[in-house]
A = this chain, B = another copy of it.
């Protein structure tokens, strides 16, 4: 007897079949796009030794972590895919070939306070390129192309990949003599959009003891805007005063220069000096991606260049560059904004094969088997229901075709195929019916997951 009320925990996304199909389609696009760039799939455990997972220690993350004991073991659920990658690369260093390019799409866990649009279990979709000792700048230049392809293939058009270089920021603060305050200054500058330039200036001067003329310099610097060429030209004016800055400018120039060869349109890319990415971790190019019509969502794909992937596990130098998409949150936002394309097929099959009576079951089975052999998803429907209920079953699930098989169809070795969207029915050979379904499949194959 039922004694427990079934429920799913708050903060855990569990989808009905139709939206699940939409999510699967998005994941397939991510896998395919990442693969086109030579990334190999990895799959690491969800549970790790807590001491290894938390080797870096401290911070907000540690409070949110799911950590527990089983027997003598101190265990934790992964909270991102980067730490497990660092462990994997350090552990398998001798067996990997560098540069090592991997993608991983997997669930991670953070015990945040549940609130709308925040999840405790969520998918991340990451790519990283790891070098052994060094890694060519071209890898950083390729990332915007991957981001562009990924979102374009999903159907998104109104987005911008914002790029900066940590060496430019660090070099700029160095040439102002503000290196030791650069963290505070960057955090303050990050609030520019919210509080405005005047308030930023005041905090810099009053709270962090930045000289007023230096504060003005900072504000002038982050106010540099325009086309990529204009921003780069403006940055030229700071050259020759900091090696770090000059190196950063050179790198940013390289990343920008190859955009056209990589097929990234200018309108989807912007050099943006306000992008810093909080983490100390990043040391070169940094990326954020925003949906132009939904700036409130924040970055949907971020990352950057780092110098030491696995410093807690190995003394080997493992520089890399990577990006991450918070897939569960992105899916939530797309759904919320009605941006999931309703034309995407979400049915479990293309054809519902319906024998008109028990006598045609053998024929129906044989027909379904032949359809499947041709790659057509065919579901047999043999429940004892009224004809109308069978049609309603297909309609509810969005199955586009029903195939009716009665006595005459079996005798004449034909099938009656009904297009449930158009309401048209034809009696044709199985080959002709399969051809019609295949045209449908060709037509829907490229339907984008996202509409704007």
Contacts and interface: CB of A to CB of B under 8 A. Distances in A.
Given A45-B14, A382-B138, A38 B348 contact: yes
A261 B396 contact: no
Contact of A37 (B68, B99, B372): B372
A298 B408 CA distance: 46
Contacts of A220: none
A97 B35 contact: no
Interface in A358-408: 361-363, 365-366, 369, 372-373, 375-380, 382-384, 393, 396-397
Contacts of A369: 145, 261-263
A142 B111 CA distance: 43
A107 interface: yes
Chain A contact patch, size range: 35 or more
A47 interface: yes
A280 to B, nearest CB: 16
Nearest to A88: B14
A243 B211 CA distance: 95
A272 interface: no
Interface string A80-109: 000000111011100111010110000101
B362 A6 contact: no
B2 A348 contact: no
B375 A121 contact: no
A23 B43 CA distance: 10
Contact of A52 (B6, B55, B311): B6
B41 A9 contact: no
Contacts of A348: 35, 38-40, 101
Interface string A313-357: 111000000000000000000000000000000001100100000
A233 interface: no
Contacts of A24: 41
A88 to B, nearest CB: 7
B102 A17 contact: yes
B384 A36 contact: no
A281 interface: no
Interface in A1-22: 1-9, 12-17, 20-21
A48 interface: yes
- In order of increasing CB-CB distance, the 3 nearest A-B pairs are A38-B379, A68-B68, A38-B349
